[in-house]
Structure 1
Amino acid sequence: MVLSQIEAEKLAKIDHFMRDTLASDQSGHDSSHIDRVLALAKKILINEPQADEFIVLAAATLHDTYDDKLFKDPAAAKNKLAEFLQSISVDSQSMFEIIDNMSWSAQVFGHRKTLDINGQIVQDADRLEAIGAIAIIRTFKYGFAHDQIDYDPAIKPRDLTSKSEYRNEKQPILNHFYEKLFKIKDSLNTETAKKLAVKRDKFMHDFVAEYLAEYQLKA
């Protein structure tokens, strides 16, 4: 599918809105994160010709613009996005269907709706961005921004049962790899994403193994 000129112009406005909204982010969810998600979405789109390229790229661009991890008032941020989309004649419902149902917490703890191929591509792109080398940096950056320590052998990874437990209980950063990141590879939808995940997943496992080996040597 080739984007029309009107769609390309709308995507440019959507990109500007995203950069303005996420300009002050220091948690690893800034515009550079979005740029990498977009690059991954485009890579997956090559092998998914039935998908709607505009919807995929728009939702990928906007998926963090009212995330409750990032905004004190996510409902107000969502309303702001809805008003913006209306102003450029983009169906906000198609965006919200994807964004509201693509997250890890929505899948594991919520009552999410099944994503169509457009949502699956956005979800896969975002999850691929959550694993691998850059993802390790983002994980520690987010953890340190929330006053988490890197590791404590006395605090074991949890079997999470609720979003509140997942989001609000302070844990060592390394536990996040066991509680979520090591599980991402097996949660992907598209064959392209599954192939891309193999190397990234291995890199994370190697990193954690090396970290633990060096920690135990020190101990």
Structure 2
Amino acid sequence: MTAEAAAVAAPFLWLVAGADAAGKSHYHRRNVATRLRLPLVDPGRIARGRWPRAPERHTDEARHRAAATRDALLAARRSFAVETVFASAADLDFLARAKEAGYVTWLTLVGLGSADLAVARAYLRARETGRPAPSPGAIRAGDTGLRERVPSAVPLVDRLMVVDNGERGRALRDVLLFEHGRATWRARDLPDWAVVLFADFLRD
């Protein structure tokens, strides 16, 4: 089923997850916004819009606002997209509630392969845009939380697309696809980080 068909068939949720600076917004612009006109709930965007001088100081407030917005959209049974670092148990609870509410749920994981690469890219982005970078500790903690929780999302979503964005010259490369909890396609050169992360689902 295409995203367009899914959005017509039922309320549709497309969640894009990844560590800080993994490439979530790039993926959303290229693969979601070009296909569907969905409201986007993004804590980072909320922080930059509400507190432009120091968005990094209001991360928790922005996440609370994002959670309230997505809960309201869910209650109204509207289709929408979410960008998240997926580092909290609340993200899994949210997916479970969307499934119970009858949503078609898609999850894209944009992976880099290491927290060190996420830290380096966050600081490169800060130099290029002037946007303050989260602390290395916060980035690494978020990456750890992401890796701990994403495998638990496999049975909660209708489709999970794994995208590798950590290899130079091969940006946003599709490497693995799960449908209804089962791996249905994998790249021949599946990156090691994806093999480790989804090992329980890739055993023959």
Question: What TM-score do you get using the length of structure 1 for normalisation?
Answer: 0.34
As a proportion of its length, which structure holds more helix?
1
- The structure with the largest alpha-carbon Rg is 1
As a proportion of its length, which structure holds more strand?
2
Question: What TM-score do you get using the length of structure 2 for normalisation?
Answer: 0.36
Bigger relative contact order (CA 8 A; separation at least 6)? 2
